[in-house]
Amino acid sequence: MSHPAPHPRKIIIDTDPGQDDAVAILLALASPELDVLGITVAAGNVPLPLTQKNARVICELAGRRDMKIFAGCDAPLAQRLVTAEHVHGKTGLDGIALPDPTMPLSPGHAVDFLIDTLRREPAGSVTLCPLGPLTNIATALAKAPDIAPKIAEIVLMGGAYFEVGNITPAAEFNIYVDPEAADIVFRSGVPIVVLPLDVTHKALTSREWVERMRGLGTEAGRAVASWTDFFERYDTAKYGSLGAPLHDPCVIAYLLQPDLFTGRQIHVAIELEGRHTRGMTVADWWRVTEGAPNAFFIGGVKRDAFFDLLTERIARL
């Protein structure tokens, strides 16, 4: 008996491109298991005018001028925007010069696209994939609480526990930029999968892999090689590690092959008050509190299989 092809999983990617966001978006667009209903853009690595432009550059590079791309919130809920040009360069996509986009933004605000899509699609059929600060997601949940039970899962890159912070000693960038938004998301009751620095710092590129990307002889391969080369210099200077941590692609790889990852269902709280720890994900890894588990917190990845998946998919573009 023939088995019908499984329906592609419907996702919305929320992003602040960023070179690693770009690789994640290319991975998603190259994977037929995923149906990207749209891309919502947040301010983060660089301000919104640049992140929304970068999202269009990436989709055009993937030959997806049809993709719906919505600009979202341009500032966090309760504090001024902190950006990361020191990591991503002033454009947010430094490393290779790509043509300005010609595809338009979709009309309307990203938050309204999130709400309208979740209200329209069957309950439990759409997964949200935040790759940056959680401002758009939190704003949608606050504006339309009825969407929370309709979200299948939120699979996000953010936070850290054993790996501690990358923007402060205690906090990871995506959470630190908008801790109030993260608090709303982590207290929403929506099933959450967290890909923190604990796992993304194990997804380090190698020189051999970057050259394999360049050797694909495609625009996408050249861009991925150039982006990861640029992105690597920051982590090498800071951590002494060789290789760039592919933070955001871990989210998409988890959707495609969850067995590559290991983690625990635990309670994760967002620190809002700490003078030195604001934006920290307080992950109860050892279950020492009564906090009800609210997140699947990932700590391990099969690194070689992760990069094999990435190579095979990027080569399709």
Binding of ligand RIB by 95 (CB under 6 A) = no
What is the set of active-site residues? 247
Binding of ligand RIB by 172 (CB under 6 A) = yes
Taking the least distance from each CB to Ca ion, the nearer of 34 and 250 is 250
Q: Is the dihedral of CA 157, 159, 162, 208 positive or negative?
A: positive
The alpha-helical segments, DSSP class H, found in 101-188 are 110-120, 135-143, 173-177, 179-186
Rounded to a whole number of angstroms, the CA Rg of the chain reads 18
- Length of the chain, please? 317
Chain centre distance of CA 189? 20
Choosing among ligand RIB, Ca ion, none, which partner's interface includes residue 297 (Cβ < 5 to 8 Å by kind)?
none
Nearest residue to 190 (alpha-carbon basis) of 225, 138, 246, 236: 138
Give the nearest distance from C-beta 146 to ligand RIB in angstroms. 28
Which span sits near Ca ion by CB under 5 A: 77-85, 132-140, 163-171, 276-284? Answer: 132-140
Give the nearest distance from C-beta 159 to Ca ion in angstroms. 13
Binding of Ca ion by 21 (CB under 5 A) = yes
Chain centre distance of CA 15? 6
- The site map against ligand RIB for 183-212 (x = CB under 6 A) is ------------------------------
Residue owning tokens 């109860």? 284
Binding of ligand RIB by 18 (CB under 6 A) = yes
Binding of ligand RIB by 44 (CB under 6 A) = yes
Give the nearest distance from C-beta 288 to ligand RIB in angstroms. 26
Give the nearest distance from C-beta 250 to Ca ion in angstroms. 11
Segment 138 to 157, residues that bind ligand RIB, using CB under 6 A: 157
**The dihedral formed by the CA atoms of 34, 46, 53 and 314, expressed in degrees to the nearest 10:** -40
Which span sits near ligand RIB by CB under 6 A: 6-14, 17-25, 257-265, 289-297? Answer: 17-25
Distance CA 307, CA 314 (A): 10
Structure tokens at 48: 């919104």
Which span sits near ligand RIB by CB under 6 A: 115-123, 171-179, 260-268, 305-313? Answer: 171-179
Cα–Cα distances (Å) from 309 to 38, 246, 315, in that order, read: 23, 13, 10
Q: Is the dihedral of CA 18, 127, 251, 257 positive or negative?
A: negative
Choosing among Ca ion, ligand RIB, none, which partner's interface includes residue 226 (Cβ < 5 to 8 Å by kind)?
none
Taking the least distance from each CB to ligand RIB, the nearer of 157 and 194 is 157
**Whether the Cβ atoms of residue 175 and residue 159 lie closer than 8 Å to each other:** yes
* Single-letter amino acid code for the residue at 143: K
Contact residue for ligand RIB among 117, 174, 205, 228 (CB under 6 A): 174
Q: How many other C-beta atoms are found inside a 10 Å radius of the C-beta of residue 24? A: 27
Distance CA 40, CA 72 (A): 6
Which span sits near ligand RIB by CB under 6 A: 15-23, 140-148, 206-214, 259-267? Answer: 15-23
Segment 224 to 283, residues that bind ligand RIB, using CB under 6 A: 247-248
Instruction: Please give the residue ranges that form the binding site for ligand RIB (CB under 6 A).
Output: 16, 18, 20-21, 44-45, 131-132, 157, 166, 172-174, 247-248
Instruction: Please give the residue ranges that form the binding site for Ca ion (CB under 5 A).
Output: 16, 18, 21, 131-132, 248
